[in-house]
Amino acid sequence: MHEASLPSPLANGPAPQASKRVVHARDAEEQALGLAPLDQSYQQLSSGKFSGSLFSLTVGDVTVFRETLNQSVYQTGHSEARHITIAVACELSEQAYWNGRHIGEDAVVAFSPGREFELRTPSHAVCVGISLPPRMLHSLAPDLSPEHWVRHFASMDCWMDGGRAKSALAARLEAACLDPSGSESEGLCAEVRDLTELTIDYIAGILDRHPASAPKLRAGSYPRIARRARTVMTERMDEPISITGLCDELGCSRRALQYAFESIFGVNPVAYLRTLRLAAARKALTSDRSGTTVQGVAAAVGFAHLPRFAKDYARMYGERPSETLLGRR
């Protein structure tokens, strides 16, 4: 087991502690104790030597995890009182059992605070997930309380989804656990922050299937919301802007912001903010200002993790930022 503390940018005020945790278990119950957001118990069902692993990355109140099992296990318990946990199976040797139904790899399950769950995994299983406080869903509908989301996911604890959004979320969660941006605090915190936003966006898409609970938005509001959001993004280019915080500042729901950006710019707010920052970086790299460095430009436009900046820049412009800077010189 390995654990390391890191500062986190996920909250205002003093930086909360962050940690990486790796558990390699030879007993099912030992593995059950490894994931803090879930209060659970494991019982091994199939015969054979147990071998399991659990990687978790926690920043502030958010935990990202990946779990592997080589034996069929019966799991019971409930989510810790301050968290909703969303989990997706990446690999299942056969169907699993979840709260009265059989599920496959297209299922997404939600562990809601206070609600007991029953899960039986097959003899080979790999799953990924994320736990976050219900208050972080505030941007989906500002007039709804955290208790609303607890009740919502208690009643909707499983849905089938073979779509692109779910696959993208699962892939990003697994990548964060298998290659967690090294040990740099900025990279780890940025990774968890991005995954939190991606998860909330995914949940927003799921809620679109239930229009009765979706706030309404007049199309005439789109330009006003998009302009105000773009102004905030431009003025605070060097700050770690979250979509949740942006919604709170603008007084609109996450869905409203999403629709506004897709209507006006053709992309979601996260993609637009990244594009805006990359454009500012390219402008700085091609300017005549002396003493310009790639690292300095990346920090100035809000990229805390230099390798990620270089990768995003190269994908956007077909060359590395160092090549752009060299070409100017």
Report yes or no on 208 lying in a domain: no
Whether residue 30 sits in one domain with residue 150: yes
Query: Are residue 40 and residue 164 in the same domain, yes or no?
Result: yes
CATH number at residue 85: 2.60.120.10
202 belongs to a structural domain? no
* Per-residue model confidence (pLDDT) at position 7: 35
- Residue 286 lies inside a defined structural domain of this protein: yes
Domain range spanning residue 34?
2-196
Q: Which two tokens stand for residue 92?
A: 């299942």
Are 275 and 147 part of one and the same domain?
A: no
pLDDT beyond 50 at 225: yes
Name the DSSP class of 176: H
Do 185 and 222 belong together in one domain? Answer: no
Among 49-58, 94-103, 124-133, 203-212, the range scoring the smallest mean pLDDT is: 203-212
List, in sequence order, every residue forming a beta bridge with 109; answer none if it has no partner.
87, 158
Helix (H, G, I), strand (E, B) or coil at 289: coil
Of the three residues 196, 227, 251, the one that is the final residue of a domain is 196
Residues 174, 249, single domain; the answer is: no
Instruction: Reply yes or no on whether the pLDDT at 16 is more than 90.
Output: no
> Residue 181: what pLDDT?
53
The per-residue pLDDT for range 76-126, each reduced to its tens digit, is 888 887 899 999 999 999 999 898 788 999 999 999 888 888 898 999 999
57 and 91 in a single domain? The answer is yes
**Is the whole model's pTM more than 0.75, yes or no?**
no
Q: Could you give the angle at which helices 185-207 and 243-250 cross, rounded to 10 degrees?
A: 60
Rg (CA), the chain: 21
Q: Would you say residue 57 lies in a domain?
A: yes
Residue 210 lies inside a defined structural domain of this protein: no
Is 299:190 a contact under the CB 8 Å cutoff? no
pLDDT band of 13, cuts 50, 70, 90:
very low
Q: Is 152 found in the same domain as 264? A: no
pLDDT at residue 28, as a whole number: 85
Q: Are 117 and 25 members of one domain?
A: yes
Residues 6+ apart with CB under 8 A from 1: 21, 22, 23, 24
Same domain, yes or no: 166 and 238: no
Looking at the structure, tell me whether residues 157 and 223 fall in a common domain: no
Query: What band does 215 get if pLDDT is binned at 50, 70 and 90?
Result: very low
Say whether both 283 and 181 belong to one domain. Answer: no
Same domain, 240 and 322: yes
Q: Tell how many helices (H) and how many strands (E) occur in the chain.
A: 11, 13
Q: How many domains would you assign to the chain? A: 2
